[in-house]
Structure 1
Amino acid sequence: MSNEKGTISVSTENIFPIIKKWLYSEKDIFLRELVSNSSDAISKLKKLADIGEAEIDKDKKFFIKVIVDKENKTLKIVDNGIGMTDEEVKKYINQIAFSGAKDFVERYKDKADEGQIIGHFGLGFYSAFMVSEKVQIDTLSYKKDAEPVRWISSTGTEYEMEKSDRDEVGTTITLYIAEDSVEFLEMYKVREVLNKYFSFLPYEIYLEDANEEKDKKEDKEDIGPIPLNDTSPLWLKDPKDCTDEEYKEFYRRAFFDFEEPLFWIHLNMDYPFRLKGILYFPKLKHEFDAMEGQIKLFYNQVFVADNIKEVIPEFLMLLKGTIDCPDLPLNVSRSFLQNDGYVNKISNHITKKVADKLTSIFKKEREKYNKYWDDINPFVKFGCIKEEKFYDRVKDIIVYKTINDEYVTLKDYLEKNKDKHENKVFYVSDEKQQSQYVKMFKEQGLDAVLMTTMIDNHFMQFIEMNEKDVKFQRIDSDISESMKESETDEEKKKEMKEGLEKLFRNSLENEKLKVEVEALKTSSVPGMILLSEESRRIHEMTKMFGGITLGERYQAEETLVLNSNNGLIKSLMSLKDKEDKKEDTKLICQHIYDLAMMSHKQLEPEAMTGFIERSNKILSKFASNLEG
């Protein structure tokens, strides 16, 4: 071929500033682009060979090499793929429009949000100028009698073409690394980038150090070069051919998590779109782990990004997994993906597969499902709130752990307790704090469900909106009728209420204190605090959205319920009018109130100090009485 010089045919004064701007925050993407191009070149040659349009050795081993030469400040990407003729170099390199860059300029020249671009596939080769002061291509086409071609550009706008000395079919791209990008001459940095994007590339990729001593290289040849990647990731296999140990090993390798996953879902679809992947349900070490999922999105085994919520339903971000979808339009904005019907179908399919898997475990392995529930319930609840279709599919398999260590569906719970408290679902938000109420429930054969995770407040409201007859009430918000004895003497009850209300208001110096008197079936509890569910929710919402100050201004109305069957309360009725016992009666009232409050919530520091001082005083009086 004859030597040639020229100018690249597109408005390059626009394209290169945009390349710099868009790729700067992810500078390493240039390597993803160039190695991806090498992978494509190999795929094209293999396809041509398969249909008889290219002749290659049947034992030919395809590879991609990345060679770091720190001494000469070059980085080479070498492949033995399809190669290019001089005409193809002119077409695909000199005319940037063919690589999608012209469309890229038009679409993004006025954008300012770096988050708009998901993938840069298509911009391809010209991302090399992100890190290079000069770029050289040496390529030899697979076509018979083709001549090798060399292409050089130092500016990205002007080029030279001449005959190359390459003698093997394929392409070598040599980057002469610029001063502001010398980190890409460090082996550890290049290895890090290759592992990030190409851990599962379909063709073997090797990293070499051009400056490594020759005797060290010869030592390595005893066992042969070792590729960086796994060319056949587990998600490509048929699920029926995968063992549990393979799934666990893949999980450890992909996510560096040595805690075994609970279970997994293998996605394997070829029609109406291609989608393969594995989603893992991780075991949570603590509740906050629920927010630390990682879904890796791949395009033909090349890593694109983590947690692309436009493609993957947001609630699945709580899981860990890999999804490979080669049909996705990755050179588009996030807003396009949000509104793309094809992408929505992918998202819906993944949601359905997850719901189907959970339903299958629930129906076929209920005991195992119950054991999983403590770990998976934040995920399921979040999924229901975020995705209506998901809720429709799983609403009958949502279970609730009870204070009796059983796992029941909402239907089961309501049916079991319909004669005791109709459509009310009593729940516990803190087992330790509300232990007194739990004990009373158990004594009376009543049941309550545990709602102790951060998402439960939102989830209960969600269920109430979707299941109109269901009402959640915290265990300290009301007294079930089943816990009360039927009152026979209303006049006596009224007299006790008036007398005890006055006594407690005076003792506590709180004229607004609400006091009720009930004959409870248990005699061991003198008093308890109730706060209506509605009042508690308003109080919590005010604190959440109005700030702590506004929340403190809204005082939730708590009621002190005194148990007329308790011996201490009966004694107070006889002591309340005795002037010489006034001080002792006051101590007892204050202590009953604080004990009731402690079962309801933590005491404020000042109240706790008072409680401790009073406890010491009561013990001293008790000891004095014993001595006397």
Structure 2
Amino acid sequence: MIHESGSISINTENIFPIIKKWLYSEKDIFIRELVSNASDAISKLKKLDAMGEAELPEDNRYGIKVLVDKKEKTIKVMDNGLGMTEEEVKKYINQIAFSGAVDFLEKYKDKSDDGQIIGHFGLGFYSAFMVSERVQIDTLSYQPGAAAVRWISQGGTEFEMTESDRSERGTTITLYLSEDGVEFTDEYKMRSTLEKYFSFLPYELYLEDSAKEPEKTEEKAEENAEGTEEAIEGAKPEPKKPEPLNDTQPLWLKNPKDCTEEEYKQFYTKVFHDFNEPLFWIHLNMDYPFNLKGILYFPKLKHEFETMEGQIKLYYNQVFVADNIKEVIPEFLLLLKGVLDCPDLPLNVSRSFLQNDGYVNKISSHITKKVADKLTSLYEKERDNYNKYWDDINPFVKYGCIREDKFYDRVKDILIFKSTKGGYTTLKDYLENNKEKHENKVFYVSNEKQQAQYIRLFNENGMEAVILSTMIDNHFMQMLEGKMSGVHFNRIDADISDTMKNGETGIAEEDAGYLEKLFKSAVSDDKLKIQVESLKNESVPAMILLSEQSRRMQEMSAMFGGMDMSHMFPKEHTLVLNSSNRLVKSLTDMKADESKKDEIKLISEHIYDLAMMSHQPLEPDAMAKFIERSNEILMKLV
């Protein structure tokens, strides 16, 4: 080989500054690109071997090794793939506009599947200059009679090519690091980077640190015929066999029928470091019309806010690309945890971002369908488990319905609601079972403890409410009201059903007017709405109602930064006085007795506070007055 030097053929003279500062979003991307290229080189050679276009020894074993040397400030990436000839180095390295992988695929596209060729980009190799002052390639092609080639560049557009002393097939990339790249010679740093991107690389990946002595395996004693143990004299410890960093056959590549429940759980713990067992999972495994494999897990939640901590890892031929890429994964699915491997994705040069492509939408739609199908299958075949899972999965399902019309259309009939009567009900069943009591009205509970009195009244009258207590439920209800014509959601304290009333108020109009005036004065609110009703339950003196519209407006105001919108949407509390209650009746009986004036005021204030406490927590000042008044009432009893 004749010594050669020259200038790399590129179309812009500022290509290296662009690579260093703009093209790749993370500095450690250079590791991903170089090891991915090494994996590509092995995949190409395996394919040529399968097609009979390469002759390899029978005991050939593929692998990739990364060697870090902190003292010399170098990193080497070594593979035993197909290597390059002098002409291939000139073409694929010097002429940056050509991509070795693309050219290879074009040549062999009609001969075999190209699923294992990771790189589609000529720029991948040049990411090495992000951290290097000088890059050296030593490569020997698999082709018989090929000479080893060495290529060196100082990080500009100048290069030098000479003969190499490499004697084994494959390629070694040596990076002579600049100061801002030296951190990657630290074994822990490099190990964590390799594990980040290549935990599931299809070929064994090893890491060596030149500063560390090889670990030794102590020779064990042997047992002689008499049963005594003797150390083998003169035996030397054997070097410990290195272990690969990666699992070359991740679970998602297996047929779902061959995977056990324990394997799925172990894989979940290994990948996501979550020691809480997942509820269930979906194993995606398809080859047509696109190649997509992966596992989506429904995690068990410790609390509602944890739903925002999902993580979907995207892989490209077993090489990690990024977490939570919204172009591929429907937004609501990002609340789950899982891995997706899709070689058909059209990635750009940094392998981190997706280009617009019809495949992306198809993949996203397919994943949505598979999730909906899994939920439907659980509902139809494992209803008890589905009900059991609902507390954990309902925020995810509701969010999916809000964000994706297609998802809603697929799961609308399997949406279930926890009932105050116990168990779960669908919306269709709820409306059918309660149509005589409250047609097209869906009563719901947002806080079981706070609204316990209202629930009790509902139960006593054979009425049913559903429990909607998560942050997303307000949006979910509005979505359902828009989808289901005529259906309206009302919180359990928004209205009193005729079923709870005796029919007549049971009180004279004059007395009703007296009570209204009395309570407005007692609470110092002339605008307080008061309604006198005769309820079937005589034990409750009063209740607070708040119109559904008013409540929603208040909550919306609080949600958007606590803006004061009281002038636009004033509170519309209504105090309902139960005329069948003895305490309320006693107030009208005492109205003519002037000596009872203070007692009447005390009782009125207390009835109002008790009603308010059943509706919402009292403000601090109101609570202090309530406690003081309670003490006063107890003293009067004594």
Return the TM-score normalized by structure 2: 0.92
1:589 pairs with 601, 604, 621, which one?
604
Q: Using the alignment, how far apart are the partners of 1:89 and 1:217 within structure 2?
A: 42
Q: Using the alignment, how far apart are the partners of 2:175 and 2:129 within structure 1?
A: 8
5 Å-filtered alignment, 1:53-92, equals 53-92=53-92
Q: Once structures 1 and 2 are overlaid, which stretch shifts more, 356-365 or 532-541? A: 532-541
Partner of 1:177: 177
CA offsets 1:445-485 (integer angstroms, 9 cap, x no match):
11111110010000000000000121000000000111111
Change (3 A) 1:520 1:214: closer
Q: Does 1:260 align with 2:277?
A: yes
CA offsets 1:4-44 (integer angstroms, 9 cap, x no match):
00000113522112111225640000000000000000000
SS of alignment partner, residue 296 of structure 2: strand
Q: Using the alignment, how far apart are the partners of 2:371 and 2:338 within structure 1?
A: 12
CA offsets 1:406-434 (integer angstroms, 9 cap, x no match):
11100011111111111100001111111
Q: Once structures 1 and 2 are overlaid, which stretch shifts more, 608-617 or 538-547? A: 538-547
Change (3 A) 1:332 1:398: farther
Partner of 1:602: 617
Q: Does 1:311 align with 2:324?
A: no
Partner of 2:213: 213
Q: Using the alignment, how far apart are the partners of 1:165 and 1:211 within structure 2?
A: 24
SS of alignment partner, residue 98 of structure 1: coil
Q: Using the alignment, how far apart are the partners of 2:168 and 2:14 within structure 1?
A: 36
Letter of the structure 1 residue corresponding to residue 345 of structure 2: L
Change (3 A) 1:441 1:225: same
CA offsets 1:338-376 (integer angstroms, 9 cap, x no match):
853221010000000000000000000101100000000
SS of alignment partner, residue 420 of structure 1: coil
1 or 2, which has the higher helix percentage? 1
How far off is 1:77 after superposition? 0.3
Q: Using the alignment, how far apart are the partners of 2:611 and 2:241 within structure 1?
A: 75
SS of alignment partner, residue 519 of structure 2: helix
Partner of 1:379: 396
1:451 pairs with 453, 463, 468, which one?
468
Q: Does 1:141 align with 2:158?
A: no
C-alpha contact 2:124 2:350 (8 A) present in aligned 1: no
How far off is 1:221 after superposition? 5.4
CA offsets 1:315-336 (integer angstroms, 9 cap, x no match):
0000000000001001179999
Q: Does 1:300 align with 2:317?
A: yes
Change (3 A) 1:493 1:421: farther
Partner of 1:507: 522
Q: Using the alignment, how far apart are the partners of 2:267 and 2:79 within structure 1?
A: 28
C-alpha contact 2:8 2:158 (8 A) present in aligned 1: yes
Change (3 A) 1:510 1:488: closer
Q: Using the alignment, how far apart are the partners of 1:23 and 1:334 within structure 2?
A: 10
Q: Using the alignment, how far apart are the partners of 1:206 and 1:214 within structure 2?
A: 13
Q: Using the alignment, how far apart are the partners of 2:39 and 2:364 within structure 1?
A: 27
Unaligned runs of 5+ in 1: 103-118, 624-628
How far off is 1:64 after superposition? 0.3
Q: Does 1:165 align with 2:182?
A: no
Q: Using the alignment, how far apart are the partners of 2:337 and 2:215 within structure 1?
A: 43
Q: Does 1:50 align with 2:67?
A: no
5 Å-filtered alignment, 1:416-495, equals 416-487=433-504, 492-495=507-510
Q: Using the alignment, how far apart are the partners of 1:332 and 1:288 within structure 2?
A: 36
Letter of the structure 2 residue corresponding to residue 461 of structure 1: Q
1:398 pairs with 415, 434, 444, which one?
415
Q: Percent identity?
A: 70
1:231 pairs with 225, 248, 252, which one?
248
How far off is 1:516 after superposition? 0.5
How far off is 1:576 after superposition? 2.4
Q: Aligned residue pairs: how many?
A: 605
Letter of the structure 2 residue corresponding to residue 147 of structure 1: A
Q: Does 1:10 align with 2:10?
A: yes
CA offsets 1:468-508 (integer angstroms, 9 cap, x no match):
1210000000001111112176xx45333211101111222
SS of alignment partner, residue 329 of structure 1: coil
How far off is 1:611 after superposition? 0.9
2:576 pairs with 551, 561, 569, which one?
561
Change (3 A) 1:332 1:534: farther
CA offsets 1:267-313 (integer angstroms, 9 cap, x no match):
00100000000000000000011110000000000000000001110
How far off is 1:156 after superposition? 3.4
How far off is 1:181 after superposition? 1.6
Q: Using the alignment, how far apart are the partners of 2:447 and 2:122 within structure 1?
A: 54
Q: Does 1:291 align with 2:308?
A: yes
How far off is 1:620 after superposition? 1.1
Q: Once structures 1 and 2 are overlaid, which stretch shifts more, 495-504 or 315-324? A: 495-504
Partner of 1:348: 365
SS of alignment partner, residue 435 of structure 2: helix
Partner of 2:33: 33
Change (3 A) 1:319 1:35: same
Q: Once structures 1 and 2 are overlaid, which stretch shifts more, 503-512 or 519-528? A: 503-512
Unaligned runs of 5+ in 2: 103-118, 220-236
How far off is 1:531 after superposition? 0.5
Q: Using the alignment, how far apart are the partners of 1:97 and 1:35 within structure 2?
A: 21
C-alpha contact 1:99 1:124 (8 A) present in aligned 2: no
Q: Once structures 1 and 2 are overlaid, which stretch shifts more, 155-164 or 137-146? A: 155-164
Q: Once structures 1 and 2 are overlaid, which stretch shifts more, 11-20 or 45-54? A: 11-20
Q: Once structures 1 and 2 are overlaid, which stretch shifts more, 31-40 or 517-526? A: 517-526
Q: Using the alignment, how far apart are the partners of 1:140 and 1:122 within structure 2?
A: 20
SS of alignment partner, residue 14 of structure 2: helix
Partner of 2:153: 153
Change (3 A) 1:545 1:216: same
SS of alignment partner, residue 530 of structure 1: strand
Letter of the structure 1 residue corresponding to residue 286 of structure 2: M
CA offsets 1:209-235 (integer angstroms, 9 cap, x no match):
112125659999555110000000000
How far off is 1:608 after superposition? 1.1
Q: Does 1:278 align with 2:295?
A: yes
Return the TM-score normalized by structure 1: 0.93
Q: CA RMSD in A?
A: 2.1
Partner of 2:431: 414
